[in-house]
């Protein structure tokens, strides 16, 4: 299906991004830029406790404050039934979501919403929050997954019973799910091994860290129709969730996705949208809401902390014989951690004759987790890649040679079942071995207090597809508009526009992409799972093909020949096979379209399957200050099979961004709770994401093994690069100081503790 | 957030009058990089901001080799490191003012505000202590002076009484063969707050240390002057063992807590490491001075 060997004119070039001018001039409109006449401002009251029963809420004093127009609590939300909602890489239960957007009965984490106010100014709304009286009966929180799994642990939800594999006893539990992926016989495999390594790893919750906080403005008109302006990865997903949470038909809701300041998976679930709708309904006026940074960190989907046990065995020659893992992930306050995905990632790069993986999804009194770039992958790979590094050392093998020997290729079976289609994992390992970085020996530091080391790690992501809709309409000046429903968080306006330009033989700048509201385009699933250039790119390809066919028909009409006589060339010119004197261009046809039959449009709708899995292999050099425990990254190279790089600069940007987030997860980022479950570091000062000064220039090597199931060979590229960094950095630290770190983040206090234990400093 | 009054004071007397009238809910506003954030985050209740950025005395930035440095309480960091004579004479102070917050913050933040905010982790206070800074305070009873090391009395607490404000800090002129160095430890390379910090000042006499002063940040309820280190170092020959011993004395004086920014053990350990490194940096500067 893929058009191999084809010479592309637009694909693979680096045109200026279509949204660039608006971004650099400040014209791009974000949710915070919405101002409507008569608009009110909404604020949320949040729980100061991690676990408590709400005994009583008295809103009368707040309601009496001049300027307050409405107050809502959990009682204002309609009762909703259990129903699972697909959100790309996350499935959420609408009933849980209802209890998450406004607590009823119990609060389950520090920052859980309990009431919301709409007032004439944000300051009045804030003052009103202080006047709401909530009486709590504080309960013992459970913050650690292993504690939460104990039979006598405090229960978050006394009605929750484990969905298991036959071992369930029917008693209430914090374990929402236990599953097992298995093939072969691991006991036999370990018996065959010459070396077996077994370790336990622990990681903490981390946040997506998008710069733009959640925001939503809603207006419910007197006729009951609703418009919502918000920052989201999926306008249709917002429409569907709000419809169910507020019991409004989808046809009455229009969602206008604003420009988005980052999402990374965290902006698929709704938080403020239903509250703004309820407050607008109550007041008859538009209501605007936004979170501050503390609210974002306390109450919007971080990804899970985890306990992961890994055991792997290999023969002396490095051949892996068996691998076993137990992954226990924090779900947060409601079921739904990405432990399933973690189980799919953990051993994905390796061919394993015997494998067994157990996964547990466990409730704790922390925020409901949400999708975060390759959800569950980074911590899983950290565990497995550390053990693989150890095995390679035991065998005396180069760690990339070890991966080459055991790496997967087309036809190999993944631990979670499916056989792999054509993938480029081994190509990434070979490219890493051939890289300037790997071939350049690491010089020791001239400073005796600094030790340097090099580490490698690999990573995998599934990548996704899904439904998508696109319209391409031709303008009389020969440009085209591309109308799409995929919100753009990773450069997909550019990639989809370039695909249209390629098909029609136009320059990229002659295609104008527009992300529109839910009334103006067909259903489009969320921007998640690295799916957009795959699915919406494919829909764009189909829509552009339709336009191309129509342009051929118009030329045939003008020349009075059969369409089969018309040849459409890559540069947008058309000629007639039987009469070389007949020539025209896309532009000329566009100028005459209303005289040759009317407007020209093409549509592409698809439910895209066939996503191409992504593999990457990373190399990192670090320097450890043995007196302080600080780890600095000196050099970083990320190699990735990207299928087909439509816009290589954007692909490189995705890889650099993934590495930057992975490095933050590895070294400094963590949710820091006290023993009562209060999140203490809910600011970007103390939730330490890396800055530009903490990272070197990240080098990227793009390996292109086209996805055979996509017309242009596209693979998702955005998530794979966050998977290897923590493992690669841990392995580099081992190389530098000989200490195997098993906790994330590998922050200075932890590294120093281990350096002191090892006698490297005193 | 409720409406807040704001007054731009033009004279010290006007500022003092406003502070007296406003009582406990009146606060001096200089750069505002701590205060405005605290008010916005409901961490401090304020009814009146008294802006001191338009008072001539608080804007003084005057240096000469005979009289030393007068640093007004409203002078932002960028003016300090942007003044070549000051930067040359007090490089240990520049170490701190050039690392506070970020370039944007340094355009607004003042050393006077850093002192009055009285954070144990304040970067500019240890170097001001080792440079023997003296705070000039003005209030209803007139002027008084307090050494920098006695200015902070607890986290967020200072010696300022009702109606009093910090006007300037004065530093004696640089001594011959003497210099200071400030270092802090942060997990991030910028936009961070010290897990621990150490400022060291040394005056050399050939191969020996004639006198020294060391002060630490983020290891006690206030920035901590550690006279024991200076007493130990006075008259000692510069050797690795002497430097190591000085670090151990700093470590012994530190009495840190464990919080989200670091553990008590880590801070104790860093007090020694940073003091050793700050001393070596100060010695090198003193040898070049």
Which residues of A lie closer than 8 Å to B, measured between beta carbons? Answer: 123, 126-127, 294, 627-630, 667-668, 672, 680-681, 685-686, 688, 690-691, 693-694, 747-749, 752-753, 756
Residue A146 lies in a domain: no
DSSP state of A491: S
Domain ends where: A280, A299, A318? Answer: A299
pLDDT, residue A6, reads 59
Q: Contact A680/B191, CB-based, under 8 Å?
A: no
Structure tokens at B79: 């003016």
Please report the pLDDT score of residue A1 as a whole number. 41
> Where does a domain end: A608, A630, A659?
A608
Q: Do residue A566 and residue A691 come from a single domain?
A: no
Q: Tell me, what DSSP letter sits at residue A676?
A: T
Number of structural domains chain A divides into: 3
Residue A135 forms part of a structural domain: yes
Strand A566-568, strand A573-576: pairing: antiparallel
Token pair listed for A696: 């070197």
Q: Consecutive 10-residue runs of chain A (762 residues): their mean pLDDT?
A: 66 95 95 97 98 98 98 96 84 94 97 98 96 98 98 96 89 97 97 98 98 98 98 98 97 98 96 98 98 97 97 98 98 97 97 97 98 98 98 98 98 90 98 98 97 98 97 98 97 97 98 98 97 98 98 97 97 96 97 96 98 98 98 98 98 98 98 98 96 96 97 97 98 98 98 97 88
A441 and A317 within one domain: yes
Rg (CA), chain B: 19
Distance CA A620, CA A651 (A): 20
| Residue A251 DSSP class | G
User: Is A294 within the bounds of a domain?
Assistant: yes
Q: Using an 8 Å Cβ cutoff, are B104 and B191 in contact?
A: no
Mean pLDDT over the full length of chain B: 97
What CA–CA distance (Å, rounded) separates A389 from A136? 50
The answer on A477 and A335 residing in a single domain is no
Contacts of B191 in chain A (CB under 8 A): 685, 691
Query: Cβ contact (<8 Å) for A123 and B2?
Result: yes
Strand intervals (E) in A258-413: 287-290, 306-314, 320-332, 355-363
Kindly state whether residues A598 and A650 are assigned to the same domain.
Answer: no
Are A300 and A210 contacting, i.e. CB atoms less than 8 angstroms apart?
no
Please tell me the predicted confidence (pLDDT) of residue B1: 66
Beta strands per DSSP E along A194-319: 195-203, 215-220, 226-230, 253-257, 287-290, 306-314
Cα(B218)–Cα(B194) distance, integer angstroms? 7
CA distance A541 to chain B (A): 45
Residues A627 and A733 reside in one and the same domain: yes
State the nearest Cα–Cα gap between A444 and chain B, in angstroms: 21
Angle at alpha carbon of residue B57, lines to B51 and B59, rounded to 5°: 65
Helix ranges (H only) for B41-162 are: 77-81, 84-89, 91-97, 103-106, 111-117, 125-130
Judge whether B269 and B251 are in contact, CB under 8 Å: yes
Residue A51: CATH number of its domain:
3.90.1170.50
Closest by CA to A245, choosing from A100, A123, A124, A381, is A100
Share of chain B above pLDDT 70, in %: 100
Give the separation between CA A107 and CA A282, rounded to whole angstroms. 24
Contact B260 A680 (CB under 8 A): yes
A686 to B260: CB separation less than 8 angstroms, yes or no: yes
Residue A198 is assigned to a structural domain of this protein: no
The contact set of B with A (CB < 8 A) is 1-3, 41, 185, 187-193, 195, 259-263, 265-266, 269-270, 273
- Chain B's closest residue to A683, CA to CA, is B41
Last residue of a domain, one of A572, A587, A608: A608
Q: Would you name the residues of A annotated as active-site residues?
A: 719
State the DSSP code for A367: P
Q: For residue A484, what are the β-bridge partners?
A: A470, A515
Q: Whole-angstrom Cα distance, residue A223 to residue A252?
A: 9
Contact B187 A126 (CB under 8 A): no
Question: Is B137 strand, coil or helix?
Answer: strand
φ, ψ dihedrals at A610, nearest 5°:
70, 25
- Residue A156, in any domain of the structure: no
Q: Are strands A480-484 and A511-515 parallel, antiparallel or unpaired?
A: parallel
Q: What is the CATH number of the domain that holds A471?
A: 3.30.365.10
Q: Which of B41, B188, B260 lies closest to A681 in CB terms?
A: B260
Do A428 and A486 belong to one domain? no
| CB–CB contact B188 A630 (8 Å) | no
CB of A114 closer than 8 Å to CB of A134: yes
Q: Give the three-class secondary structure for B81.
A: helix
Domain-embedded: residue A200: no
In chain B, what are the domains?
5-51 (3.30.43.10), 56-171 (3.30.465.10), 178-288 (3.30.390.50)
Q: Are residues A229 and A104 located together in one domain of the fold?
A: yes
Confidence at residue A5, expressed as pLDDT on a 0 to 100 scale: 52
Residue A581, CB half-sphere, CA atoms under 13 Å: how many? 1
Q: Are A348 and A446 in the same domain? A: yes
The neighbouring-strand residues paired with A201 are: A308
Q: Model confidence at B2, in pLDDT bands (50, 70, 90)? A: confident
Alpha carbon of A506: minimum distance to chain B alpha carbons (Å): 44
Q: Which two tokens stand for residue A413?
A: 């079976």
Per-residue pLDDT tens for B3-49?
A: 899 999 999 999 999 999 999 999 999 999 999 999 988 889 999 99
Residue B232 makes CB contacts below 8 A (sequence gap 6+) with B245, B246, B249
| Residue-level pLDDT at A2 | 45
Q: What is the pLDDT of residue B43?
A: 87
Cα–Cα distance between A30 and A40 in angstroms, integer? 18
**Sign, Cα dihedral of A244, A245, A249, A252:** negative
Question: How far apart are the C-alpha atoms of A744 and A733, rounded to whole Å?
Answer: 13
Distance CA A606, CA A540 (A): 10
Task: Say what the pLDDT of residue A725 is.
Answer: 98
Task: Please judge whether B269 and A752 are an interchain contact, meaning their C-beta atoms are less than 8 angstroms apart.
Answer: yes
Q: What's the CA gap between A762 and B265, in Å, rounded?
A: 11
Contact residues for A368 (Cβ-Cβ < 8 A; gap 6+): A96, A100, A109, A269, A301, A331, A332, A333, A334, A336
Q: How many CB atoms lie within 10 A of CB A25?
A: 8
- The secondary structure element, H or E, covering residue A62 is helix A60-64
What's the CA gap between A64 and A662, in Å, rounded? 49
Which DSSP category does B174 fall into? P
Residues of A in contact with B41 (CB under 8 A): 294
The pLDDT tens digits for B65-108 are 999 999 999 999 999 999 999 999 999 999 999 999 999 999 99
Which helix (H) or strand (E) covers residue A633, if one does? strand A631-641
Secondary structure of A590-656 as H, E, C letters: HHCHHHCCCCCEEEEEEEECCCCCEEEEEEEEEEEECCCCCEEEEEEEEEEECCCCCCHHHHHHHHH
- Same domain flag for A341 and A396: yes
- Give the Cα separation of A504 and A511 in Å (integer): 10
B195/A748 CB distance under 8 A: yes
CA angle A239, A245, A250 (to 5 degrees): 35
Q: Which residues pair with A202 in a beta bridge?
A: A307, A743
Containing structural domain, residue A675: 308-415+422-456+613-757
Give A661 to chain B, closest Cα distance, Å: 14
Cβ atoms of B221 and B254 closer than 8 Å: no
A245 vs A712: CA distance, rounded Å = 39
| Per-residue confidence (pLDDT) for residue A7, from 0 to 100 | 80
Neighbours of A557 (CB within 10 A): 15
Question: What's phi and psi for A381, nearest 5 deg?
Answer: -70, -35
Q: State how far the Cα of B266 lies from the Cα of B213, in Å rounded to an integer.
A: 23
Task: Give dist(CA A736, CA A633) in Å, integer.
Answer: 12
The two structure tokens encoding residue A81: 């039934």
For B96-145, how does the pLDDT look when each residue is reduced to its tens digit (9 = 90+)? 999 999 999 999 999 999 999 999 999 999 999 999 999 999 999 999 99
Q: What does the alpha-carbon distance between residue A551 and residue A568 come to, in Å, rounded to a whole number?
A: 9
> Which sign, positive or negative, has the C-alpha torsion A69, A74, A75, A78?
positive
Do A233 and A110 fall into the same domain?
Answer: yes
Spell out which residues of chain A touch residue B262, defining contact as CB-CB under 8 Å. 748-749
- Residue whose pair of structure tokens reads 């006075």 in the numeric block: B234
Q: For residue B280, with 0-12 CB atoms within 10 Å meaning exposed, 13-18 middle and 19 or more buried, which class applies? A: middle
Residue A565: inside a domain, yes or no? yes
Chain B residue with minimum CA distance to A625: B273
> What tokens appear for A661 in the block?
């987030």
Hey, how many other C-beta atoms are within 10 angstroms of the C-beta on B128? 31
Q: Residues A451, A484: one domain?
A: no
Asked if residue A192 belongs to a domain, the reply is no
Contact list in A for residue B259 (CB cut-off 8 A) is 680
Q: A-B interface: how many C-beta pairs under 8 angstroms?
A: 56
Domain shared by A617 and A602, yes or no: no
Q: Are B203 and B287 in contact (CB under 8 A)?
A: no
Q: CA of A574, closest CA in chain B: separation in Å?
A: 56
Suggest the residue from A752, A754, A755 to mutate for an interface test with chain B (most B CBs closer than 10 A): A752
């Amino acid at each position: 299906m893929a058009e191999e060997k084809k010479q592309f004119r637009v694909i693979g070039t680096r045109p200026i991004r279509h949204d660039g001018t608006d971004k650099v001039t400040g014209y791009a409109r974000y949710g915070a830029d919405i101002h409507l006449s008569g608009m009110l401002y909404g604020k949320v009251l949040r729980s100061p406790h991690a676990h408590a029963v709400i005994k009583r809420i008295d809103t009368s004093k707040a309601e009496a404050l001049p300027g307050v127009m409405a107050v809502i609590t959990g009682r204002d939300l309609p009762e909703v039934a259990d129903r699972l909602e697909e959100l790309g890489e996350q499935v959420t239960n609408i009933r849980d979501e209802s209890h998450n957007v406004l607590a009823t009965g119990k609060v389950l984490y520090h920052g859980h919403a309990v009431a919301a106010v709409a007032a004439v100014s944000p300051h009045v709304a804030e003052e009103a929050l202080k006047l709401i009286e909530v009486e709590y009966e504080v309960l013992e929180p459970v913050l650690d997954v292993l504690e939460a799994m104990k039979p006598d642990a405090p229960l978050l939800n006394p009605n929750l019973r484990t969905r298991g594999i036959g071992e369930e006893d029917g008693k209430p539990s914090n374990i929402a799910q236990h599953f097992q992926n298995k093939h072969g016989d691991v006991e036999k495999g370990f018996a065959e091994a010459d070396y077996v390594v077994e370790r336990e790893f622990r990681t903490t919750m981390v946040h997506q860290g998008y710069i733009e906080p959640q925001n939503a403005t809603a207006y419910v008109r007197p006729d009951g129709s609703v418009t919502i302006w918000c920052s989201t990865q999926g306008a249709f997903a917002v429409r569907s969730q709000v419809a169910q949470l507020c019991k409004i038909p989808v046809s009455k809701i229009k969602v206008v996705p604003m420009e988005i300041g980052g999402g990374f998976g965290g902006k698929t679930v709704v938080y403020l949208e239903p509250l703004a709708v309820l407050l607008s309904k109550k007041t008859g006026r538009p209501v605007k809401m936004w979170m501050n940074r503390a609210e974002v960190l306390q109450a919007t989907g971080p990804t899970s902390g985890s306990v992961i046990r890994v055991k792997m065995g290999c023969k002396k020659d490095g051949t892996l014989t068996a691998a076993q893992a137990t992954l226990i992930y924090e779900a947060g306050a409601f079921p739904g951690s990405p432990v399933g995905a973690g189980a799919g990632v953990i051993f994905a790069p390796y061919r394993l004759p015997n494998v067994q993986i157990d996964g547990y999804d466990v409730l704790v009194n922390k925020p409901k987790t949400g999708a975060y770039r390759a959800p569950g992958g980074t911590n899983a790979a950290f565990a497995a890649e550390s053990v693989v590094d150890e095995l390679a050392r035991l065998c005396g093998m180069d760690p990339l040679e070890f991966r080459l020997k055991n790496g997967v290729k087309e036809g190999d079976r993944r631990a979670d079942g499916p056989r792999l289609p054509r993938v480029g994992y081994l190509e990434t390992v070979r490219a890493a071995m051939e890289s300037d970085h790997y071939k350049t020996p690491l010089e020791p530091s001239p400073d005796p207090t600094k030790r340097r080391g090099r580490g490698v790690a690999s990573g995998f992501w599934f990548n996704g597809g899904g439904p998508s809709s696109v319209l391409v309409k031709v303008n009389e000046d020969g440009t085209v508009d591309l109308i799409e429903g995929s919100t753009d968080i990773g450069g997909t306006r550019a990639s989809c526009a370039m695909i249209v330009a390629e098909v029609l033989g136009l320059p990229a700048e002659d295609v104008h992409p527009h992300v529109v509201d839910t009334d103006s385009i067909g259903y489009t699933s969320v921007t998640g799972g690295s799916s957009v250039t795959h699915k919406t790119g494919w829909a764009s390809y189909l829509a552009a093909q339709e336009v191309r066919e129509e342009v051929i028909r118009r030329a045939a009409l003008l020349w009075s020949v059969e369409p089969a006589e018309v040849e459409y060339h890559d540069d947008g010119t058309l000629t007639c096979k039987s009469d070389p004197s007949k020539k025209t261009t896309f532009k000329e046809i566009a100028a005459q379209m209303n005289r040759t039959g009317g407007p020209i449009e093409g549509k592409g709708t698809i439910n895209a399957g066939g996503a191409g899995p992504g593999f990457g292999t990373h190399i990192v050099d670090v320097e450890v200050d043995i007196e302080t425990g600080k780890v600095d990254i000196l050099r970083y190279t990320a190699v990735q099979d990207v299928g087909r790089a439509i816009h290589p600069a954007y692909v490189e940007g995705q890889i650099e961004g993934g590495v930057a987030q992975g490095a933050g997860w590895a070294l400094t980022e963590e949710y820091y709770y006290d023993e009562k479950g209060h999140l203490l570091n809910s600011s970007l000062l103390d939730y330490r994401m890396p800055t530009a000064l903490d990272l070197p220039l990240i080098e990227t090597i793009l390996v292109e093994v086209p996805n055979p199931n996509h017309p242009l060979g596209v693979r998702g590229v955005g998530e794979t690069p966050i998977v290897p960094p923590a493992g690669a950095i841990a392995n580099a630290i081992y190389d530098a100081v000989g200490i195997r770190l098993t906790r994330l983040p590998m922050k200075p206090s932890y590294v120093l503790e281990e350096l002191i234990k090892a006698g490297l400093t005193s | 957030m409720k409406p807040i009054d704001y007054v731009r004071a033009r004279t010290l007397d006007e500022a003092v009058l406003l502070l007296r009238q406003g009582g406990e809910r009146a606060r001096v506003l200089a750069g505002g990089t701590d205060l405005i954030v605290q008010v916005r985050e409901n961490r401090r209740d304020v009814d009146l901001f008294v802006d001191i950025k338009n008072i001539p005395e608080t804007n003084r930035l005057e240096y000469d080799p005979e009289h030393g440095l007068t640093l007004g309480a409203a002078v932002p960091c960028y003016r300090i490191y942007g003044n070549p004579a000051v930067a040359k004479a007090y490089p240990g102070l520049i170490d701190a003012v050039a690392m506070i917050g970020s370039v944007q913050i340094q355009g607004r933040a003042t050393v006077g505000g850093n002192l009055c905010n009285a954070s144990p982790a304040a970067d500019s206070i240890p170097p001001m202590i080792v440079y023997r800074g003296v705070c000039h305070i003005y209030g209803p009873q007139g002027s008084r002076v307090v050494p920098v090391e006695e200015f902070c009395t607890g986290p967020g607490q200072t010696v300022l009484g009702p109606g009093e404000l910090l006007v300037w800090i004065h530093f004696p002129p640089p001594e011959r063969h003497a210099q200071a160095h400030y270092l802090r430890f942060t997990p991030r390379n910028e936009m961070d707050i010290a897990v621990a910090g150490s400022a060291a000042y040394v005056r050399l006499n050939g191969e020996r240390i004639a006198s020294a002063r060391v002060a630490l940040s983020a290891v006690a309820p206030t920035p901590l002057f550690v006279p024991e280190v200076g007493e130990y170092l006075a008259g000692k020959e510069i050797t690795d063992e002497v430097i190591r011993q000085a670090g151990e004395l700093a470590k012994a004086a530190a009495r840190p807590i464990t919080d989200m920014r670091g553990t008590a053990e880590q801070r104790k350990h860093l007090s020694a490491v940073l003091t050793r490194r700050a001393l070596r940096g100060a010695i090198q500067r003193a040898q070049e001075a």
